[in-house]
Amino acid sequence: MVGSENFLPTLDFAKQLDKNDSLARFREEFYINPNSIYMDGNSLGLLSKRAERTLLNTLQDWKDYGIDGWTKGEQPWFFLSEKLAKMMAPLVGASAEEVIASGSTTINLHQLVATFYSPKGSQTKILADELNFPSDIYALKSQLHNHGLDPDVHLIRVKSQDGRLIEENDIIEAMTEEVAMIILPTVLYRSGQILDIRRLTDEAHKRNILIGFDACHSIGAIPHSFTDWDVDFAYWCNYKYLNGGPGAVGGLYVNRKHFGRSPGLAGWFGSSKDKQFDLEHTFTPADTAAAYQIGTPHVLSLAPLIGSLEIFAEAGIENIRQKSLHINQYLMDLIKHELVDMDFVIGNPSENIRRGGHVSLEHSEAARICKSLKENGIIPDFRAPNIIRLAPVALYSTYEEVWKVVQTLKVIMKEKQFEKFANEREVVA
């Protein structure tokens, strides 16, 4: 039996699933290229009409008010990061005061490590994993260098047993008395594995270790409860599932129990709002997560998030998660049914509780297959050395599109269309 209950591999079945889709109306909110099928929303989400509107409104405020746009207009810029924090907070399971829209993923990681990493005595090591996104590892190494510590000694990376997944037991075993801080992804970017955030946080705190999470590949795709789970801090980008646009301003979370801790990297936009324009050389930080801002917000890169997050509030993250699970299961069912004996391996976990928002399809010719998919009007995502990431996104992907993707893959493999391409990535993969 293949995968889901009542599964059928027919186009009619896909169309029926689309008719029954309670989120189908949100597809009309997005700009969809009629000549292609977009399966790369886990790298860059599509533009919504509301995001376009709120960006254009912000441009209009700049046109109408000039510098007074900081305090006037449809959405005054001086308070925009806090407004967006309030809109993002339900997606990470936090209060608005614990969240701020600021910086980028790596800048926010630098800020949080600079703030919370305090090596003392033999407790000097940072624990991460060997499958984490490279930028996080670069940041951790540079922070260790700034403390005069050798990353080869003081950065521990938990090994994967199979090259796909990281086992929580292995992470917990590595939580020795030498570890001062833990940085882990909520969802592994290659395999889509969800880590057990609550369990890992509990185990870290039993050992008096601070723990933070990179939520880039989970925010907007799965619900979180960072405050209830007592996570110390987290950070993320907003251009993947949250559709904030290329280079969108990121976000960070700091548990309120840490409020009052001085930012490791202080900057004037971390000031208390009522003190910021006193322009004193004594820093008076905000008494919320806003304290961990550094520089002036990139207003034009914040503006699309206003419209995008309105959609998430209407759709509901629990509903988004349910469709995401279902449409990705449907994709896996089709792969198992249609692509037999073609050397494909599904590399993501099969259990709902352990898989994020994309399917990780492995093949030795992955780079060539991705190029062939693009030639056929399908936009996938390649991750070296052998992964085709396919991400049907709950707000705008259809079951019929998923059906067409798998049928196209079947034709590509049967006709060996991929053989005309080199099996190497493009400059941007």
* 296 carries a ligand binding annotation: yes
* 136 carries a ligand binding annotation: yes
CA 100 centroid distance within chain: 16
* 268 carries a ligand binding annotation: yes
User: 234 vs 104, 128, 215, 221, 227, CA distance in Å?
Assistant: 12, 14, 7, 16, 11
- Helices of type H across 66-133: 80-92, 105-116
* 229 carries a ligand binding annotation: no
As a whole number of angstroms, the distance between CA 163 and CA 357 comes to 19
* 217 carries a ligand binding annotation: yes
* 135 carries a ligand binding annotation: yes
Q: Which residue has the tokens 């004037």?
A: 268
Cβ count within 10 A of residue 158: 21
* 214 carries a ligand binding annotation: yes
* 337 carries a ligand binding annotation: no
- Helices of type H across 74-180: 80-92, 105-116, 134-146, 151-154, 168-173
As a whole number of angstroms, the distance between CA 111 and CA 115 comes to 6
* 283 carries a ligand binding annotation: no
CA dihedral 261, 152, 199, 322 (to 10 degrees): 100
As a whole number of angstroms, the distance between CA 142 and CA 156 comes to 14
Per the annotation, binding residues are 105-106, 133-136, 214, 217, 239, 268, 296
Per the annotation, binding residues for pyridoxal 5'-phosphate are 105-106, 133-136, 214, 217, 239, 268, 296
